Structure 1
Amino acid sequence: MFPLDLAKDKNQYTHSFGKIPNFGNTDKTYLFCYQIKNDTQVAHDLVVFIKYPLLDHVQFFETTNGTFVTFPAQGRLYSFFAREKRYRGFSHELELSPQETKQIWVLVSTESSMSVPLFVAKEKDFSHFVSDDFLIQGFYFGIVSVMTFYNFFVFLLIRDKAYLYYVIYLLFGSIAFQLSLNGILPMYFFPNQPALVWNLHNIIYYLFLFFSFPMSMTFMNLKENSPKLFLIFQMGMYISLLGLFLIPFLPYRLLNASGDIYSLCLAILGISASSYIAFSVKFRPAYFFFFAFLFVIIGGLGTLMKYMGVLPVNPFTENAFQIAMAIEVILMAFGLGDRISIVRKENERTQIKAEIDKQKLLAFQKELLLAKKLQESTLPSKVNHPEIVEVNAGYLPASLVGGDFYDIVKLSETEIICLIADVTGHGVPAAIEAAMLKIAFTQSLRFATSPSLVLNRINRSLVGTYQNQLLTAAALYINLEHKYFRIANAGHPPLYHVKQNSNVILPIRPKGKLIGLSKDLEFHEEEYELATHDQFFLFTDGLWDVWERDERGEKESEGKGEELFLEWMHSHMELSADQLHAKLEAFIKTRTTYIPPEDDITFILFSVRP
């Protein structure tokens, strides 16, 4: 509680002139005062909020009907449940009657940097802001978590300590430290343990600094590339370890400010060392390290200068460090892959070639098996479908891990939707893209009655994702109650609608470009009637390649696969779905026995029962 006469003494205040108050690392307590007037004839529910989560003590005061009202204190030193809103910063609810004016005071103190980005918003707008803020945080932690798990699995496969150090660095620097720095630690992990949250911040900070050194040393291979720099980094590691041990004995503020200065020194050392190793020693992975650290320095300096009061608080300085860390994570992952490749080549010179080839093959097989399991998990093990429709499917990958994907979902006893897709490429990238496609398809099922919307949602989810891969796809929705079906296509081979009553095979291919080309793609949708005994045939283009081969599997009719396949379908129209499925598999087997298929083969046959 502060003296009421101080609150009323206008001479004690300094005008902010529209700038966000930022005082750096200070031991002073600040009091902020402002007036809010409702000029309208409608009551408003407002929220006053502070976007900086590292304040130890925040307390709101206001005058209501001439009465001075004190509200419960918030801050890092208090339980998260003491906050008025579930928000990683600090907030205060405010009700303003028509034509009412309220005077608000905010008392703030902290052992960390003093930054008070204070905003006022309508309650609805505040809710939207919090939702967007959580979404941004989710994107960041999602990217970093995926990269952490990925690098950990790679470490388990190849047992290179560079990956282990990088995973630990990500855990403390990109995840734990960011959780603390952005106020998420008390929100989700320790809401009722403020002392633990407060003390953990410096501990995590110095662990982050400590593990930055072994990660940097192994990444740039300093022991061989520059023994002097290796010793300097070792000394830096011991200094950060000393700071870690001094945490119980030195004041929080001193250690926090020292950590800020030390992190600045680390950034300068990192960029200097990586530039030397990259451009003088010509160690290629150091290029990734250099540009990764360059982004971290730009983002880190922006954030650090904000905390020290040098730079103003704005969207760049607020999010610069997280943006830089996300970019760094991606660049370092590429750099680690490049580093492993180079180190492996250097080690090969001292080993027997046959043994090296064997080990490389084993590692590759493990990775492929992992990708194979990942891809198999995306394909339906058992097709659940309405009783009045018969479904047969076939799948033959061209390699251990294919790029085709399909899924069939029973929506009701009279409705079914199917998605078939062909991911560009094979192996691990295709398996990862197929797994992402599975998730995107599942999330789009609420639009299942409109295949064009399904493809649109999948495209928006996948565009610009893993390695910018493209894919063709077709989505088919069948309504057996009202006797119609809808089809949408994204650069995929056509759907064959087999009308047995009229002995007609109708190729249906609505317009649509490949998924992943652009975020703003449009997919046309077409609707047709269906009848009893009608059959629907969906497939990937690998099936056409089979019809271009002779019985020995050699290419015979280049470019005529579609035409020959249609002729074959016409000659087998009288067969039942089971018989047609068996004939198809037998034909494919005879054409791929001696020479494996060049592309994955997937086909799905639907038949409407009487």
Structure 2
Amino acid sequence: MNLIHKKRFLFVLVLFLATSQIDAEDSVIDIKDCDFSPLYLTNSILVLEDKTNQLNFEDIVSPKYESQFLKVKSSKEAFNFSYSNSTYWLRVSLENQSFSSKEVTFVVSYPRLKTLDFYFRNPKKIKKISSGYSVPMLNRPYQSRFFVFPISFPENSNAIVYFKVKSPNSINLPIQLWNKDLYDRHEINDHVIQAIYFGIAFAMALFNLFLFFILKDKNYFLYVLVVTSTAFTIASHNGIASEYLWKFSPWMDQYSVNLFISVVLILFLIFMRSLLNTKQIIPKLDRLSIILILIQIGLPILYIYSFEFWIKTLVFSHTITSLWILIIGIVCSFQRQRIAYFFLLAFAFLFFALILSTLRALGYLPTNSFTIDGPQYGSAAEMMLLAFALADRYHTIIREKETAEEQVKLSLEKSNFDLEEKVKERTFTLNRTLNAMKRDLFVAKKIQENSLAIDSNLIKKLNLVYRYLPVSEVGGDFFDLSLLKDSKYRILISDATGHGVHAAMITMAIKGLYDPIKNFELPPAKVLEIFNEEFMDNFVSLNSLLTAMILDIDLIEKKIQYASAGHPAAVLVQKEKIQLLSKTGRMIGLKKQIHYEQSEINFEKGDRLFVFTDGVFEAFNSKDEEFGEESLYHLFQSTRALSLDGVVDHLLKTLQNFLNGQDRQDDLTILGLDL
């Protein structure tokens, strides 16, 4: 046994000395620097290129190879090794000088890496995490469109992190170090931004598809195909498709981006020929456009057959084809085609973004947030400008129609009387339908008011005051108060996106899901997790999100346990200060298996609690000024001497004065409790 202990001691000693030796040579990063903002690590990373692809981790940490790690030229944000057959090993040294462990996250924000292995080495252990698109999404340590490696960094210790990278795609490595909580919040914001982009694409496609069915003009349908294929290309490029569409397909991750780019260019060439009428205006140049369409059909087939041989040729053909489309737009603009001006400006944005992306993939430009996300910005601008082009085309059609109508005006005057009669008849029908809708809305309002009714005994025991003011007859806010057991009460408040009938229907769904689980003797965080799973299973097709907050109030122990799914912070007003009950997790409906943190706060007799939806402070006046959270908190503090009813009435009057006749933009709900 003594011999075994000695061997273990020597092994730990050797590992510690090796780590110390490397730290002496490397620039060491203190992880506390990422507490408030992410750190780019490229300037502190050393690189070893393994052209044989034979080295393993034990090899590269041996003295023979440790000294072969070199400083490699890179941008501040990332390394760019372009298309390479080598395996790259990266090394960076870190330290945690604090007396507590820290939760940090390493992020490689480029989703098209096939193999990306992560090694965390300190004197006590070596931890390996395998990732890259060859690893299914559900098997990764953190499900994200990027490659994310969460690590608990021990207190007062040093460590070395290694990355092993191998990929047939271009190898770009934007490596960042985040505080884990900071990155979790960033992930939520990132999903919102992505949702905005794809929401715009979906709206554009749907609207122009509607116009196609009305006008029977194929250009609108071609535009829908261009927008849809562009959205799929962007989703493949930025990893959204890997996260949500093909979680188990490394083949799609490897091939999809360039295949979709070819599809976009083919559709763009067809759209261009139709919109600009190049067959009649510039027939000789139009033939070359047809040849490029055939090339973009043939090259992807060869690319699938032999990826490594044809990849650079395909990427180069994308650039040439994009340049050709730009040239055709310029030529047609010189032909004084009004619609060509819009087309040229629109494609110029996409062309510039595509050129940046191609040059970055080939290694001629550095990899950073601008060159990575450039295609997304370019496609958004191109989408909007092409929509303007089609709108201008629509107005041209309208003007031509009006001219034709003017020519047959005399014949139409004869039928004016019949037309007026039909208008009267339709107006009568519409008014009847409108009255029926008003009656239905009145019934819906009563149903919703009944669903929000609270037992008067509970109101009295909790000294509760509440106001519910929807923007229209019905709204998207919902709240509930229930007694868990003696002296312990549970409050739910939620806010569905939007307002009106759609949001009101979501509140009915909330009630239907919450009622069966609200009396479970489970902590609020666990109830929120169950609620999110049920919502995703039953109502994900509604494409709606909602914020929610559950608070358990124990009047005997004088404490509040709570969990918040992206909901505005509740306010606990005490004698000399206020405390905010902040968010502890993501919004309901974003994705399944969301974990919610739970917090606890104590209160004293005489404290007040206010729980509300964002309609209380997200009110804008005619000058586009927001009432804001700070104004709301100040009002709660300054009205401490008033009764609860007085505080709430004063708040509503203050909001009314602030809006100065402007209508509220969102539903408003507030609950106040004297504890």
TM range (shorter): 0.5 to 0.7
Other-structure match for 1:561:
none
TM-score by length of 2: 0.56
* Equivalence map 1:210-609=2 (5 Å): 210-249=266-305, 251-278=306-333, 280-342=334-396, 354=408, 381-384=440-443, 411-412=452-453, 417-419=469-471, 438=500, 454=615, 457=618, 459=620, 510-512=657-659
Distance 1:337 1:256 in 2: 38
User: After superposition, what is the alpha-carbon deviation per residue over 1:253-300, rounded to whole angstroms, capped at 9, x for unaligned?
Assistant: 34432332222222222222212212x211111111111112112222
The residue number in structure 2 matching 1:607 is: none
Q: 1:182 to 1:378 in 2, by over 3 A?
A: farther
What is the distance in 1 between the residues matched to 2:273 and 2:219?
9
User: What is the DSSP-based 3-state SS (H/G/I as helix, E as strand, rest coil) of the residue aligned with 1:218?
Assistant: helix
The size of the alignment, in residue pairs, is 443
Partner of 1:74: 131
Structure 2 counterpart of 1:474: none
Aligned residues of 1:408 and 1:416 also touching (Cα < 8 A): no
Q: 1:2 aligns with which of 38, 55, 58?
A: 55
In the alignment, is the contact (CA less than 8 A) between 1:56 and 1:76 conserved in 2? yes
Q: CA deviation at 1:412?
A: 3.3
1:381 aligns to what SS in structure 2? helix
Rounded to whole Å, the distance in 1 between the matches of 2:258 and 2:303 is 8
Report the counterpart of residue 547 of structure 1 in structure 2. Answer: none
Distance 2:283 2:91 in 1: 57
Partner of 1:40: 98
1:190 matched to which residue of 2?
A: 246
Residue matched to 1:109: 166
Contact 2:117–2:165 (CA under 8 A) maintained in structure 1: yes
- Report deviation, 1:192: 2.2
Contact 2:142–2:148 (CA<8 Å) still a contact in 1?
yes
In structure 2, the CA distance between the partners of 1:32 and 1:148, relative to structure 1 (3 Å rule), is same
What TM-score comes out, normalization by structure 1 length? 0.62
How far apart are the structure 1 equivalents of 2:435 and 2:262?
43
**SS at 2:93's partner residue?**
strand
Write the letter of the residue equivalent to 1:15.
K
Which amino acid in the other structure matches residue 62 of structure 1?
F
CA spacing shift, 1:482–1:102, aligned 2, 3 Å = closer
The answer to whether the 8 A contact 1:53-1:182 is kept is yes
- CA deviation string 1:51-103 (max 9, x = no partner): 00001111112323365x36243212221223110111112222221221111
> Contact 1:63 / 1:102 at 8 angstroms: preserved in 2?
yes
Q: Tell me how far apart the structure 1 counterparts of residues 344 and 171 of structure 2 sit (CA, whole Å).
A: 32
**In the TM superposition, what is the alpha-carbon distance from 1:333 to its structure 2 partner?**
0.6
Asked if the contact 1:288/1:332 (under 8 Å) is kept, the reply is: yes
Distance in 2, Cα, partners of 1:325 & 1:487:
44
Aligned twin of 1:23: 81
In structure 2, relative to structure 1, the CA distance for the partners of 1:453 and 1:266 (3 Å cut) is: same
* Separation (CA, whole Å) in 2 of partners of 1:490 and 1:271: 56
Secondary structure of the 1:102 match is: strand
Letter in 2 for 1:419: V
- Report deviation, 1:43: 0.9
Q: Which stretches in structure 1 are left out of the alignment for 5+ residues?
A: 392-406, 422-434, 465-480, 492-508, 526-610
**CA pair 240-348 structure 1, distance change in 2 beyond 3 A:** farther
User: Aligned partners of 2:376, 2:435: CA distance in 1, in Å?
Assistant: 35
Match of 1:582 in 2: none
Distance 1:72 1:97, change over 3 A: closer
For 2:438 and 2:353, locate their aligned partners in 1 and report how far apart those are by CA, in whole Å. Answer: 42
CA RMSD of aligned residues (A): 4.7
1:332 Cα deviation after fit: 0.6
C-alpha contact (below 8 Å) 2:471/2:500 kept by paired residues: no
Determine the C-alpha separation between the residues in 2 that align with 1:375 and 1:295.
Answer: 45
Change (3 A) 1:486 1:221: farther
Distance 2:288 2:60 in 1: 52
- The answer for unaligned runs of 5 or more in structure 2 is 1-53, 414-418, 455-465, 474-496, 505-545, 549-566, 569-609, 626-643, 671-675
Asked if the contact 2:255/2:304 (under 8 Å) is kept, the reply is: no
1:408 and 1:417 in contact (8 A); partners too: no
What's the CA shift for 1:106? 0.6
Question: Among the aligned pairs, what percent are the same residue?
Answer: 17
What's the secondary structure of 2:442's corresponding residue?
coil
Distance 1:511 1:95, change over 3 A: closer
More helix by share: 2
2:147 counterpart residue number: 90
SS at match of 1:457: coil
Structure 2 CA distance for partners of 1:18 and 1:263, relative to 1, 3 Å: closer
Tell me, in whole angstroms, the C-alpha distance in 2 between the residues paired with 1:164 and 1:36.
55
